[in-house]
Amino acid sequence: MMLSVSIIQNVPRNHVSNFDATNSALRARLDRFLRDIERRALRMAILGAGHLDDAMELVQDSMLGFVKSYSDKPESDWAPLFFRVLDSRIQDHHRRQKVRGRWRVFFRNDADTQDLEDALAQVPDSNTPTPIESFLVAQASVAIDAALRALPDRQRQAFLLRIWEGLDVADTATAMGCSQGSVKTHLFRAMDALKRRLEDLR
């Protein structure tokens, strides 16, 4: 009798503690994954949105959307799914910007153009190379940044996801929400355009 009472009393407690343990383990894995990916995601968002604050907002939305919708998916699928959310947020941002841009045409001023200046200038460099090295690195960095920004959105995303992030073609297609053939086409064009602009870099 005592045994059965103790079993009945222990079942809910064990169940709750198992749930909490599973949940905290999931949270730890998600935290590790997001910490690993967040800096590169921010860089992609800056290139896509053009401004640090907008990029931060996009990354935050992406993190929340990813955790809400895909945290129960296998861990191996997390990277393409996270970038799928980020890509979708960046595209939404562009759509909103286009709508705003139509109105701004009538009320254009200098402050608007200053907003579109390079957001990377706000990210300080902790390395301290010599002035000449700094100048060359800065020049190269500016050229690279300009070349990446000059790419159409889809080409830039294909390049960043496939070449920089290292996703395979199938995962890149998942992240971009398009076919593998489209990924190859976008990537080929992106590489061609970057090569033409950056070939002189050493």
Partner 1 sequence: MNREEQPAWLRATLGSLDEQAATLDAATLSRLNRMRQQALDQGLRGSRGRWRWPFAAFATACGVLLVIGMVSRLPTAGLVSPTTVMAPADYEMLVAGEDLELIEDLEFYAWLDQQSLDG
The residue ranges that bind partner 1 (CB under 8 A) are: 23, 26-27, 30-31, 34-35, 38-40, 42-43, 52, 56, 59-60, 63-64, 66-69, 71-72, 120, 123-127, 140-141, 144-145, 147-148, 160, 163-164, 191, 194-195, 198-202
Nearer to partner 1, 61 or 182 (CB): 61
Shortest spacing between CB 56 and partner 1, in angstroms = 6
Tokens at 105, concatenated? 């045409």
Considering the complex, what minimum distance in angstroms separates the CB of residue 147 from partner 1?
Answer: 8
How is residue 149 written in tokens? 């920004």
CA distance 5 to 164: 59
Closest separation between CB of residue 27 and partner 1, Å? 6
Residue closest to 80 by CA, chosen among 93, 90, 92, 66: 66
For the CB of residue 127, give the shortest distance to partner 1 in the complex, in Å: 7
Of 80, 78, 43, nearest to 59 by C-alpha is 43
Q: Which is nearer to partner 1, 134 or 179 (CB)?
A: 134
Among 162, 148, 166, which Cα is nearest to 43's? 148
Sign of CA dihedral 87, 88, 89, 95: positive
Provide the token pair at 154: 């889809």
CB nearer partner 1, residue 110 or residue 200:
200
Q: Which is nearer to partner 1, 6 or 139 (CB)?
A: 139
